[in-house]
Structure 1
Amino acid sequence: MTGHTSEADAYRDDRAHVFHSWSAQRALDPVVVTGGLGSTFWDADGTRYLDFSSQLVNLNLGHQHPKVVAAIQEQAARLCTIAPSFANPTRSEAARRIAEVAPGDLSHVFFTNGGTEANEHAVKMARLTTGRHKVLAAYRSYHGATTGSITLTGDPRRWANEPAMPGVVRFFGPYPYRSAFHADSAEQETARALQHLEEVFMFEGPHTVAAVILESVVGTNGILVPPPGYLAGVRELCDRHGALLICDEVMSGFGRCGEWFAVDRWGVVPDLITFAKGVNSGYVPLGGVVLGERVYETFAERPFPGGLTYSGHPLACAAAVATIDVMREERIPERVRDLGERVVGPRLEKLRDRHPSVGEVRGVGLFWAIELVRDRDTREMLVPYNASGAAAKPMADVVAACKARGVWPFTHFNRVHVVPPLVITEEELLQGIDAIDDALDAADAYVA
Structure 2
Amino acid sequence: MTPQPNPQAGAAVKAADRAHVFHSWSAQGLIDPLAVAGAEGSYFWDYDGNRYLDFTSGLVFTNIGYQHPKVVAAIQEQAGKMTTFAPAFAVESRSEAARLIAERTPGDLDKIFFTNGGAEAVENAVRMARLHTGRTKVMSAYRSYHGATSAAINLTGDPRRWPSDTASAGVVHFWGPYLYRSPFHSETEQQECERALQHLEDTIVFEGPATIAAIVLETIPGTAGIMTPPPGYLAGVRALCDRHGIVFVLDEVMAGFGRTGKWFAADHFDVTPDLLTFAKGVNSGYVPLGGVAISAEIAETFATRPYPGGLTYSGHPLACAAAVATITAMEDEDIVGQAARLGSDILGPALAELAERHPSVGEVRGTGAFWALELVRNRETREPLVPYNASGEANAPMAAFGAAAKKNGLWPFINMNRTHVVPPCNITEAEAKEGLAALDEALTVADEHTAQ
- Normalising by the smaller structure, the TM-score range is over 0.9
Q: Does the alignment pair 1:96 with 2:132?
A: no
Residue 255 of structure 2 is matched in structure 1 by 252
In the TM superposition, residue 300 of structure 1 has moved relative to its aligned partner by 0.2
User: TM-score normalised to the size of structure 2?
Assistant: 0.98
Residue 80 of structure 2 is matched in structure 1 by 77
SS at match of 2:329: helix
Q: Deviations over 1:391-427 (max 9, x none)?
A: 0000000000000000000010000100001110011
CA distance in 2 between partners of 1:410 and 1:293 (Å): 38
In the TM superposition, residue 165 of structure 1 has moved relative to its aligned partner by 2.1
**1:132 pairs with one of 130, 135, 147:** 135
In the TM superposition, residue 433 of structure 1 has moved relative to its aligned partner by 1.2
SS at match of 2:121: helix
Q: Does the alignment pair 1:169 with 2:161?
A: no
How many residues of Structure 1 are paired with residues of Structure 2 in the alignment? Answer: 446
CA distance in 2 between partners of 1:341 and 1:183 (Å): 27
In the TM superposition, residue 339 of structure 1 has moved relative to its aligned partner by 1.2
In the TM superposition, residue 169 of structure 1 has moved relative to its aligned partner by 0.3
Q: Does the alignment pair 1:350 with 2:380?
A: no
Q: Does the alignment pair 1:309 with 2:312?
A: yes
**1:263 pairs with one of 245, 256, 266:** 266
Q: CA RMSD in A?
A: 1.1
Residue 202 of structure 2 is matched in structure 1 by 199
- % identical aligned pairs: 64
CA distance in 2 between partners of 1:259 and 1:165 (Å): 34
Residue 387 of structure 1 is matched in structure 2 by 390
Residue 184 of structure 1 is matched in structure 2 by 187
In the TM superposition, residue 164 of structure 1 has moved relative to its aligned partner by 4.4
Residue 3 of structure 2 is matched in structure 1 by none
Maintained 8 Å contact 1:147/1:164: no
CA distance in 1 between partners of 2:165 and 2:366 (Å): 32
Maintained 8 Å contact 1:148/1:164: no
Q: What runs of 5+ residues in structure 1 fail to find an aligned partner?
A: none
Maintained 8 Å contact 2:256/2:265: yes
Residue 40 of structure 2 is matched in structure 1 by 37
**2:292 pairs with one of 284, 289, 295:** 289
CA distance in 1 between partners of 2:414 and 2:307 (Å): 39
Residue 404 of structure 1 is matched in structure 2 by 407
Q: Deviations over 1:223-264 (max 9, x none)?
A: 110110001000000000100110000000000000111000
Maintained 8 Å contact 1:174/1:190: yes
Which one-letter code corresponds to 1:145 in the other structure? Answer: A
CA distance in 2 between partners of 1:165 and 1:287 (Å): 23
CA distance in 1 between partners of 2:165 and 2:151 (Å): 11
CA distance in 2 between partners of 1:306 and 1:366 (Å): 34
Maintained 8 Å contact 1:360/1:371: yes
Maintained 8 Å contact 1:123/1:211: yes
Q: Does the alignment pair 1:299 with 2:302?
A: yes
In the TM superposition, residue 205 of structure 1 has moved relative to its aligned partner by 0.6
CA distance in 1 between partners of 2:256 and 2:281 (Å): 7
In the TM superposition, residue 163 of structure 1 has moved relative to its aligned partner by 1.1
Which one-letter code corresponds to 1:202 in the other structure? Answer: V
SS at match of 1:417: strand
CA distance in 2 between partners of 1:419 and 1:214 (Å): 20
User: TM-score normalised to the size of structure 1?
Assistant: 0.99
Moved over 4 A (4+): none
Q: What runs of 5+ residues in structure 2 fail to find an aligned partner?
A: 1-7
CA distance in 1 between partners of 2:440 and 2:11 (Å): 34
Kindly report which structure 2 residues correspond to 1:2-151, keeping only aligned pairs within 5 A, or say none: 6-151=9-154
Maintained 8 Å contact 2:64/2:335: no
SS at match of 2:173: strand
Residue 246 of structure 2 is matched in structure 1 by 243
Maintained 8 Å contact 1:49/1:406: yes
Residue 213 of structure 2 is matched in structure 1 by 210
Maintained 8 Å contact 2:358/2:447: yes
CA distance in 2 between partners of 1:380 and 1:43 (Å): 36
